[in-house]
Amino acid sequence: MKTYDELFKKQIKEFFQKFATVITDYEIVKLPKKADILIIEMHEKLNQKLDIFKYFDTFNIIEFKSAADHFKVGEDDLKISFYINGVLLQEQDANEKNTTFTVVSSAKPVALLKKFKNNIQKIVPGLYKIENIALIPVHIIVINELEGDFTEEYTLLKEFSNGLDLEKFMRQFLLKYDTIKDKDTFDVLLSLYGMDVIKIMKELGMYANLIERNIDQVITELGLKDKYMQEGIEKGIEQGIEKGDIGGQKKIFIKQLNRKFGLSPEEVKIIEACENEVILEIASFKLLDGFAKIDVLNTFFTAGKIQ
C-alpha cells in the first residue's frame, strides 16, 4: 500500500522527468535521514509548457503536505530555511536567484498564512507567494483552491485534494474518463480513495456501461450462448454486485482474467483469498476497461484506503 507521499512523488516524477532531473529522496548531509522533499532540476526554462509551476527556475524544491500531514507552524516553517540552505550549500550551481521552494498542500495551511499575512501575495486562486520567510521567497500551492481544466499538471495535483473539492474533482474526472482514458490518474484515485471512487462510479452507471460493452465476453465466461438472454444477464450481474455475491464475482473474474492473460496457481489463490467486494469490483473494472495484467493484480496489494 503506497502512502500519499509516495504516490505524490511518483506522479510528480513522471510528469517532470520528460524535461527535468527529479530526485524524490534528497539527502542533506547534516540531516540524520533523507529530507522529505523533492528536487527538480530543469534542463532548460520551459515556463511556456507549465501552467501552475510557471515560476520554476533551474533548481526547484517541493515539500508535500497531504490531508493526513498538516503544516505545523513552529516546526515545518523552520524546516523550510534548513532545506533551502542545505540545497544551496550542496548544489554547486544553485543560488538564490535560480532556486525556488514550494509547499504543495492538500488543504489551506491557515496557521502558516496567518503568521506571514503581511508578506503574502496571492498570485492566482490556489497559488500564494510569501516573501521574507527564508533566503528566497516560498510559494504555497493550495490544491483544493486551484481552478483549471484537465491538463496533466492540474490533474496530478487535484488527485491529492480533499473534502468536497476532491469529491467534485473525482466526479468530473469519472464523467470524462471514457474520453480521456487517463488510467494512471484513475489508478491513483482507486489506490487512495477506493470506496469513494466505486460509489461515484455506481452513481454514474459506469459499471452497467462496462458490462453492456463487454456482454459477449461475459456470456462466454458464463457458458451461455443465447444472446437474447442478454438483458437478464446484465441485470443479474448488476444485482450480484449490489447483493455482494462475492463468490460468483470471483469465479467470473478469475475465468475472464485467466482467458485474457493466463494465471498461475499462486495468482488464483491470491484472488480467491479476497473477501473485499470493493477490491474485487475495482479489479473487475480494470480488467473490463483494458488495464494490463500487472495493474489488475496490483489492486489486491495496493488497495489503499479501501476497507
DSSP state string for 131-167: -SSSSS-EEEEEGGG----S-HHHHHHHTT--HHHHH
Identify the pLDDT of residue 143: 97
Query: Residue 166: pLDDT above 90?
Result: yes
Distances (CA, A) of 36 to 8, 23, 29: 12, 11, 13
Identify the pLDDT of residue 215: 56
Burial of 73 (0-12, 13-18, 19+ CB in 10 A): middle
Choose between 215 and 148: higher pLDDT. Answer: 148
Q: How many CA atoms lie within 13 A of 70 on its CB side?
A: 10
Weakest-pLDDT range from 46-50, 75-79, 253-257: 46-50
User: Residues near 49 by Cβ (< 8 Å), separated by ≥ 6?
Assistant: 19
Identify the pLDDT of residue 29: 72
Cα–Cα nearest to 46, from 36, 38, 33, 55: 55
Task: Among 64-78, 115-129, 255-269, name the most confident range.
Answer: 115-129
Average pLDDT over all residues of the chain: 84
Identify the pLDDT of residue 205: 85
Q: What is the mean pLDDT of residues 18-46?
A: 80
Identify the pLDDT of residue 211: 61
Choose between 119 and 244: higher pLDDT. Answer: 119
Sheet with strand 99-105: strands edge to edge: 20-23, 38-42, 59-65, 99-105, 138-142, 127-130, 120-124
Query: Residue 304: pLDDT above 50?
Result: no
Identify the pLDDT of residue 288: 77
- In degrees, rounded to 5, the angle at the alpha carbon of residue 81 between the alpha carbons of residues 116 and 67 is 65
pLDDT band at 284 (very low <50, low <70, confident <90, very high): confident
Cα–Cα nearest to 162, from 180, 182, 142, 147: 142
Pairing of strands 127-130, 138-142: antiparallel
pLDDT band at 44 (very low <50, low <70, confident <90, very high): confident
d(CA 83, CA 135): 11
Instruction: Tell me the three-class secondary structure of 158-227, residue by residue.
Output: HCCCCHHHHHHHHHHHHHHHHHHCCHHHHHHHHHHHHHHHHHHHHHCCHHHHHHHHCHHHHHHHCCCCCH
Whether residue 57 contacts residue 101, with contact meaning beta carbons closer than 8 Å, is answered with no
Q: Is 81 helix (H, G, I), strand (E, B) or coil?
A: helix
Pairing of strands 99-105, 120-124: unpaired
Choose between 128 and 18: higher pLDDT. Answer: 128
CA torsion angle for 221, 226, 232, 233 (degrees, to 10)? Answer: 10
Identify the pLDDT of residue 290: 80
Choose between 145 and 74: higher pLDDT. Answer: 145
Identify the pLDDT of residue 117: 93
Identify the pLDDT of residue 229: 46
Cα–Cα nearest to 167, from 204, 205, 126: 204
Domain boundaries, the chain: 4-145, 162-298
Cα–Cα nearest to 166, from 77, 242, 68: 68
Q: What is the mean pLDDT of residues 27-42?
A: 77
Q: What is the pLDDT of residues 207-251, one digit of tens each?
A: 666 666 665 555 555 555 554 444 554 454 455 544 456 787 788
Identify the pLDDT of residue 266: 93
Whether residue 72 contacts residue 115, with contact meaning beta carbons closer than 8 Å, is answered with no
Identify the pLDDT of residue 181: 81
Identify the pLDDT of residue 212: 63
pLDDT band at 146 (very low <50, low <70, confident <90, very high): very high
User: What pTM does this model have?
Assistant: 0.81
